[in-house]
A and B are shown apart, each in its own frame.
Chain A
Amino acid sequence: MLSFIGRSIIQKIITLFFVSIVSFLIIHLAPGKPSQVDPLNPKFTPEMVERFRKEFHLDKPLHVQYLLFYRDLFTGKTASWKDNQPVLRKIWERFLNSLPLFIVGTILTWTLSFPVGIRSAIFRGGFYDRSATFFSYLLISIPGFFFAYILIIFVVNSFHVPVIGMETFGIGDPSWFRWFMDRVWHLLLPSVLGATGGIAVLSRYVRSQMLEVESQDYVRTAMAKGLPPEQVHYKHALRNALLPFVTMFGLILPGLIGGSVIIESIFSWPGMGRMAYEAILARDYPIILTVNFVSAVLVLAGTFISDVLYMVVDPRIRL
């Protein structure tokens, strides 16, 4: 067990090392250079551009830049090129902003998907199953921003309440309760939007897993024995269908960064995705690289957790 964990950690660290190289290369080998200095501004002389390059170590060979960057990253000294703020602090702030969205979205996804998927599996081919299939695919298929606009226009026009941002702007000094509720309200649309895709995908997955399990003999036996169907489905079947979800659960961590760029832009939500996106626009390399690195760490941490969970849950793997 311990040796497994040890090996796994070493493996993850090696992977991380390669990820750091690859992401560094992608960014530095792409054409186009950081535009902190606007080359078309008549006031920038070539000497100035050169001085900026020096300041950001861009004049050094690639491997030196690589070492300098990761040295700064591990000593917590990396600063954004755009505003000289420490990158880690920026990311931490944004992380806290993204967190509520992520938590609510995850709770919704990981609870709602199961009953929907299981019911679909039980009544396979029935009306419920078909409509659930249809709606899940509808939700997967709709372009996120299109859906978001439709929702925003609908809510604003029919309820006349603000939905943009993390809280109502200029709410003044309300009681903490009102303040809290206001924040909760602003969570509603973006987190539901973020969760829809997840619910659709996961419920399909639950359905197919349940189908596999439901055709097993022990389920038939349990049914034949006259146990209440609910107990059969939710206890006997579900438990055995759960195994693959352990892997998926590990993979939700990186969701914190990835798919939220569009939603966060539309809802003016100052989260991780939007910061990363703006860093890409401004070619703020330290932020792009750090976000990439952090997300790789999250992915690897996620897979590590799921590996360990797997081992705990599935006795066959315990070596």
Chain B
Amino acid sequence: MTIRKVLIFTPIAVILFLLQSYFWVPTYEQQSRGNPDRLNEYITASIGDASILNPILSADSASSQINSLVFEGLIDRDEELRFRGRLATSWEVFEEAFFYINESASIPGAGTARAEEVVDFLRKAKKNNKVSDPRLKACLDNIREIGLIPPREFLVIKREKDLKNSKKEIEVKVHGRPPARVKLTLTAVDQDLFKNLTQLLGETYFTSFGGERYVSTDPPVSKEKLAAYAREFVPATEHNPILIFHLRDNVLFHDGHVFDASDVKFTFEAIMNPRNLSPRVADYEPVKAVEVIDPLTVKITYKRLYSPAIGTWGMGILPEHLLNQEALKREALRLGKDPEKFSMRQSGFNRHPIGSGPFVFQEWKSDQYIVLDHFNRYWEGPPNYKSYIYRIIPDPLTQEMEFYAGTIDNYGVQPHQVQRLKNDPTYQSFSGPSFGYTYIGYNMRREPFNDYRVRTALGMAIDVNKIIQYVLYGQAEQITGPFVKQTDYYNHGIKPLPYDPERALELLAEAGWTPNKEGWLEKDGKPFQFTLITNSGNDLRKAILTIAQDSWKQIGIDVRTDLLEWAVFIQERVDKADFDALILGWSMGIEPDLYQIWHSSQTNPYQLNFVSFKNKEADELIIKIRQEYDHDMQVEYCHRLHEIIAREQPYTFLYVSKWTAILDKRIVIKEIDDKGKVIYKKIEPTKTGNYTFYFNKWIKLPEVPTFALEG
């Protein structure tokens, strides 16, 4: 009967056909061990795909990882986390400071002075060697040049909200004719310059300047608004830090085009272009101007003191010739799209990037892989690996299996797997502290968290070491404050809170919380009860949630827990400050800028100081730190700030987790010494815990080498 036969034999045939294909598939053995080409490839696995391969537009970690290989910035950080030149060979930082002549103020010993007189006065003071105050002396010695800018006039048009109709905007003409201005060129940035100069010019010389006098508007505006315009356009004093980069000669983009200063300027402009919607605008907002001095020199002027700004120049530099206005227009016309609406976001460049980094983009198959080849004409010499491949494998378990089979070299290994693989002779393992910490934050707007004793007690009741030991398999370190632990901003003198439930109970008793008959803590008949929340999808936080709940139950606190989906968690609870306590993590930059997370001005809804930490001394230090360009001074301020935060315990700082990595032992560093001899070295993480620092020198060998020269 034909129907029956068809129905039975078709599936059998299909299955047999599927099964026979087994004989044509290369086994793992053939792919990884028996394949010599495999040694020249570095394959890493990721759970998610990249989204946009353009360093100024990408915001996700997968894209950033690829971008960091394809593109290169002016500078980066070396083994000690100091800045190191990449596309820039060297750079200098100095300052231009300005102040307006205060025509009405009287200078001690000179009376009211006109512009030229003030300049002469300062020049004289600088020459005078008998300045008593050493700080003033240092300040004056730091001044390289004193100049005068004659009075000028300006007209600016501002768009403002109409007071009567909040939806409409009106134009306000701001007209100003400020007096002459003194320009001081400093050798090094000095945030205390004007404070010191008051010793010479009089206590109120700068504060009594009164910029409103020189500004008028059409139509007239309120007094506060006028003062705001005056602060904006006629500030009594102004710091303009200046950064000059000297660029590396003969650096090529992957298409052979020579890199020069105009690419730097272009990259900056692309970030600031509102049409590009770059997520990095905030980093570059303090920049006043980027000027090309010559093809190998670029000058960046800042509007104000902002020391973390230097680090932002690690941003990958885009090739201007491929993305400028004309190039985009041509692309738009080629694709038949409206050139007016076509922005860099739509450009095909983002899926086929060209940079000047060590690896050249080859191929991207969405949700499968991204292939990069090494760049033969890379200025530092091509990396040893011939290609870098980024595979996307969404399932952690299949990642693990591919790793055992040798078809990937690296994957997001979990702590418990490290524990198991550490002793395996085929693998080498690395770990080091990362740049992020996990904490429990308390909403200090609410009772009883506004009492530091309660916060401290809650912290003491949690055995952080136990969490580290058992939940993280030791892959974490306890932390006491908000700075990156491997930098010197971190104050190692501060001891972590001890695990001491008894002392915690004492502290709580001091704050008025005493156990009732059933053992629950009470104050004025009200039980100690609150809800601890965190986001779902993070197993570690979930575990901490459980442990914290359990630990606090032990001392008689009734804690409820809630796991919320990320977007809801952020938008409904964190942004609106609607929580008692939460578990969250911050990933930090190396720069010690704590303004957004810890400054008291950032406690409004949607701002990041959602625990509402307010401390006057801390506020001052935070401002000082972000204005200080001198490393040692910064460190000093940071240590003091760290102490304050550790004392106040706005967070229970839990731990900074360690990143972990497992690599095949056959992956080593290959170097060629002066005599042309090849040397193999074991991969060692740098002091700051970066094992991929020498990635360009890595290579995989057929056998594990014996490191004879070690020692």
Contact = CB atoms under 8 A, between A and B. Distances in A.
B575 A182 contact: no
Interface in A188-221: 188, 191-192
Contact of B59 (A38, A182, A235, A268): A38
Contacts of B571: 31-33, 39
A316 interface: no
Contact of B367 (A182, A266, A274): A274
B38 A44 contact: no
A35 interface: yes
A35 B31 contact: no
29 contacts: A33-B567, A39-B606, A42-B596, A43-B279, A43-B283, A45-B281, A45-B282, A48-B279, A48-B281, A48-B282, A51-B274, A93-B366, A107-B10, A111-B11, A111-B14, A112-B7, A112-B11, A162-B25, A164-B393, A170-B389, A170-B407, A181-B24, A182-B26, A185-B24, A185-B25, A231-B1, A265-B395, A268-B393, A274-B394
Contacts of B232: none
A82 interface: yes
Contacts of B407: 162, 169-170
Given A83-B51, A185-B22, A234-B4, A160 B11 contact: no
Given A84-B350, A160-B28, A228-B1, 20 more contacts: A31-B568, A35-B567, A43-B283, A48-B277, A51-B277, A83-B52, A83-B350, A104-B18, A107-B11, A108-B11, A152-B398, A162-B25, A166-B368, A171-B31, A182-B25, A185-B25, A188-B18, A191-B18, A192-B18, A275-B367
Interface in A1-48: 31-33, 35, 37-46, 48
Nearest to A77: B337
Given A35-B567, A168-B26, A185-B25, A43 B18 contact: no
A301 B701 CA distance: 57
A178 B565 CA distance: 46
Interface string B390-413: 011111011001100101000000
Nearest to B283: A43
B227 interface: no
Contact of A165 (B7, B366, B368, B565): B368
B29 interface: yes
Interface in A129-174: 149, 152-153, 156, 159-162, 164-166, 168-172
A125 interface: no
Nearest to A189: B18
A316 B139 CA distance: 102
Nearest to A42: B596
A76 to B, nearest CB: 12
Contacts, number: 188
Nearest to A83: B51
A160 B25 CA distance: 10
Given A270-B368, A283-B567, A44 B282 contact: yes
Contacts of B35: 170
Contacts of B172: none
Nearest to A230: B1
A100 to B, nearest CB: 11
B110 interface: no
Interface in A271-311: 274-275, 278, 283
A161 B22 CA distance: 8
A279 B203 CA distance: 61
A58 interface: no
B386 interface: no
Contacts of B346: 79, 84
B214 interface: no
Contact of A84 (B48, B52, B59, B369): B52
A168 B565 contact: no
Contacts of B261: none
Interface of B: 1, 3-4, 6-8, 10-11, 14-15, 17-29, 31, 35, 37-38, 41, 43, 48-49, 51-52, 59, 274, 277, 279-283, 345-346, 350-351, 365-369, 389, 391-395, 397-398, 401-402, 405, 407, 565-568, 570-572, 574-575, 596-597, 606, 608
Contacts of A184: 17-18, 21
A66 interface: no
Contacts of B369: 169
A33 B367 CA distance: 24
Contacts of B280: 43
A55 B57 CA distance: 14
Interface string A82-124: 1111000010010000000000100110011011000000000
Contacts of A257: none
A182 B21 contact: yes
Q: Which of A33, A83, A108 has the most chain B CB atoms inside 10 A of its CB?
A: A83
B394 A265 contact: yes
Contacts of A249: none
B367 A160 contact: no
B1 A188 contact: no
Contacts of A166: 368
Contact of B25 (A51, A177, A181): A181
A160 B27 contact: yes
A164 B402 contact: yes
Contacts of A235: 1, 3
A32 B14 CA distance: 46
Contact of B572 (A31, A51, A172, A192): A31
A278 B50 CA distance: 12
A41 B398 CA distance: 31
Contacts of A228: 1
Contacts of B281: 45, 48
A128 interface: no
A251 interface: no
B394 A39 contact: no
A283 B389 CA distance: 27
A267 interface: yes
A42 B21 contact: no
Given A39-B575, A84-B350, A265-B395, A159 B22 contact: yes
A238 interface: yes
Contacts of B41: 170
A70 interface: no
B18 A115 contact: no
B17 to A, nearest CB: 7
Contacts of A42: 596-597, 608
B574 A40 contact: yes
A165 B43 CA distance: 15
B567 A164 contact: no
A187 interface: yes
Given A46-B606, A266-B398, A171 B567 contact: no
Given A39-B570, A184-B17, A169 B391 contact: yes
A162 B405 CA distance: 9
B8 A52 contact: no
A32 B345 contact: no
Contacts of A191: 18
Contacts of B1: 228, 230-231, 234-235
A42 B351 CA distance: 27
A198 B403 CA distance: 33
A235 B26 CA distance: 45
Contacts of B49: 278
B59 A115 contact: no
Contacts of A182: 21, 24-26
Contact of B38 (A159, A160, A170): A170
A114 B395 CA distance: 35
Contacts of B567: 31-33, 35, 283
